[in-house]
Amino acid sequence: MAQLHSIIGSILRDIIAAQHEANLYSCSLSESYGKEGKTRDFQLPGVIISDMELELKYGVNSSEENRDHFNLKLGKTRAFIREICHGCAKIALLSSVATVLDKDTTRPIEQKSFFVNVRNNSDVNRQFLTFLSRNMSNAFNGSIKDIVNQDTGELLTDKVCEKIMTTLKKKFYYDTDLDGLFEGSDGEALRNRLITEVTTLIQAKITFDAQDENFKSKRSFPQLDVAITSDELMKLPEEAIHSFKLKFSPTACTITTLDDENWLEDFEMKTQTI
């Protein structure tokens, strides 16, 4: 026995996988053609799956009670992550500026020029805040499902915090423009202090904001056990056999809209002057 939704889903996945493999093979051929001067401008052989119609015959063996299906609320999750990233960028910036300028006494003020500008120059503050926020959000592209508990729908706050802190380390605390500030044992201690303080604050914010949120929806559907093989269908009366027509029309679409790459490049911190 098999369930109807599993069969249809398997057919659709196989069609998409076939197009994907054809695309990859065509790309691999482009490299081979490019190596030979005489074939460099040849058109690549390729295949496009156009409109396709399939007819599936099946017989219903039994109908079970409704089963609950849980689906991830992608739109809600993405919107929540964007808000979290913006808030965490603010926290990281405020905390780091306060620690470097108000609490640290080991480093000369000349090495803190970027932090002085962030505090005193609203344009620099806004631009760097946007830079951090967008890089944080970009880090979740393609991995939204990995940060939600598939059973409960709750946000995996540790994973969200880990991704955000990884971005902060790469784009902020370990940026080579700040090597002068963080050089030596005193500088390394300052950097570790910033990371520890910000990690604690960000983990607390994510946990608080996500405590009453759920990112999965529940729907109930009847489950049909069906017969699809020729041997199974031969045992059924003709009136018990049904047909399901499936039309497949590939459509090009943008799954995820990425941020402007200009906002994801390194932020120039080294040339900041007081």
pLDDT per position as a tens digit, 175-194: 999 999 999 999 999 999 99
Residue 24 in domain: no
* DSSP label of 155: B
- Under a CB-based contact definition with an 8 Å cutoff, are residues 77 and 144 in contact? yes
221 pLDDT higher than 80? no
Position 198 pLDDT exceeds 90: yes
Give a yes or no: residue 176 inside a domain.
yes
User: Tokens at residue 249, please?
Assistant: 């029309």
| Angle made by CA atoms 131, 134, 139, in degrees to the nearest 5 | 125
pLDDT band at 251 (very low <50, low <70, confident <90, very high): low
- pLDDT of residue 16 exceeding 70, the answer is yes
What is the domain range of residue 196? 72-214
Question: Is residue 164 a contact partner of residue 90, using CB atoms and an 8 Å limit?
Answer: no
Residue 246 lies in a domain: no
Q: What is the pLDDT of residue 157?
A: 97
Cα 179 to Cα 171: distance, rounded to the nearest angstrom: 13
More confident residue, 14 or 62: 14
Domains of the chain: total = 1
Is the pLDDT confidence value at 256 over 90? no
Mean pLDDT, the chain, as a whole number? Answer: 84
Which CA distances in Å does 131 have to 94, 134, 136, 264, 270? 15, 6, 9, 7, 16
Determine, yes or no, domain membership for 19: no
Is the residue at 89 inside a domain?
yes
Within-domain flag for 272 = no
Do 178 and 114 meet the contact criterion of CB atoms below 8 Å apart? yes
Report the DSSP beta bridge partners of residue 224. Answer: 63
pLDDT of residue 59: 81
Q: Does residue 206 contact residue 88 with C-beta atoms inside 8 Å?
A: yes
Pairwise pLDDT comparison (271 vs 122), residue with the higher score: 122
Domain assignment present for residue 84? The answer is: yes
User: What integer is the mean pLDDT of 83-95?
Assistant: 97
Q: Looking at the predicted structure, is the pLDDT value of residue 70 above 70?
A: no
Q: Which pTM does this prediction carry?
A: 0.65
Q: Radius of gyration of the chain from Cα atoms?
A: 28
Contact assessment for residue 255 and residue 82, using Cβ atoms and an 8 Å cutoff: no
Position with higher pLDDT, 164 vs 34: 164
Q: Which pLDDT does position 64 carry in this prediction?
A: 67
Q: Is residue 112 part of a domain?
A: yes
